[in-house]
């Protein structure tokens, strides 16, 4: 009897999550944390940010081969560009653990990019967050188009 109840609850939670995800344009976490219009009920997730990052990354894997948007935070060909790029990478990883951060070297430039956004609008929202979090990099922060690999 307990197994049947547990099975029923599991199916119910799965269907509720799937329904919430299909209705939301954002990710499942945002959708579930948003209060319900009728009851005001919401879900609070208490978990490591790494788990959330992995689940969100899995959802973006379906975008392989499609155009995605990243945000370039740094680009330089100066003598100390490599150390500057790694410093900025560490800052981004600590401030935004759920985002993918890339450091690329294409001679002669070191570049640091963050995010894998499906739409330009999503990237634009994150640009504002980045500019607030890293005011010293504001002049270098802009959206770039990329192919998801």
Pair 97, 139 in one domain: yes
* 60 in any annotated domain: no
Closest CA to 81 of 99, 106, 56: 106
Q: Token pair 């990710």 is at which residue?
A: 27
The answer on 128 and 72 residing in a single domain is yes
Per-residue pLDDT of 98-138, as tens digits, reads 999 999 999 999 999 999 998 999 999 999 999 999 998 99
**Are 84 and 136 within one domain?**
yes
Average pLDDT over residues 14-21: 56
- Is position 28 within any domain? yes
Burial (CB < 10 A; 0-12, 13-18, 19+), residue 103, is middle
Range of the domain at 90: 67-147
| 40 and 72 both lie in a single domain | no
Domain match, 40 and 108 both: no
Count: domains in the chain: 2
Residue 14 lies in a domain: yes
Q: Which two tokens stand for residue 29?
A: 């976490």
Which residue in the block uniquely carries the two structure tokens 């944390």? 33
Closest CA to 115 of 135, 129, 132: 129
User: What gap in Å lies between CA 36 and CA 51, rounded to an integer?
Assistant: 24
Confidence at 24, pLDDT banded by 50, 70, 90: very low
Residue 43 is predicted with a pLDDT of 79
Q: Does a structural domain hold residue 58?
A: no
Is position 132 within any domain?
Answer: yes
Report yes or no on whether pTM surpasses 0.95.
Answer: no
Which residues, at least 6 apart from 119, have a Cβ–Cβ distance to it below 8 Å?
Answer: 69
- Is residue 33 included in any domain, yes or no? yes
Please give the pLDDT value at position 149: 64
- pLDDT tens-place string over residues 39-59: 888 777 777 777 777 766 655
CA gap 78, 31 in Å, rounded: 43
């Amino acid at each position: 009897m307990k197994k049947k109840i547990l099975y029923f609850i599991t199916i119910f939670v799965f269907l509720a999550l799937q329904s919430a995800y299909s209705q939301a344009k954002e990710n499942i976490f945002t959708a579930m944390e948003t209060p319900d219009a009728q009851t005001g009920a919401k879900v609070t997730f208490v978990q490591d940010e790494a788990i959330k990052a992995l689940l969100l990354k899995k959802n973006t894997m379906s975008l392989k081969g499609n155009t995605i948007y990243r945000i370039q935070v740094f680009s330089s060909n100066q003598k100390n560009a490599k150390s500057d790029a790694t410093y900025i990478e560490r800052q981004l990883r600590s401030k935004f653990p759920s985002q993918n951060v890339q450091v690329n070297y294409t001679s002669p430039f070191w570049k640091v990019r963050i995010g894998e956004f499906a739409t330009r609008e999503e990237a634009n929202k994150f640009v504002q967050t980045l500019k607030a979090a890293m005011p010293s990099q504001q002049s270098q922060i802009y959206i770039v188009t990329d192919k998801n690999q």
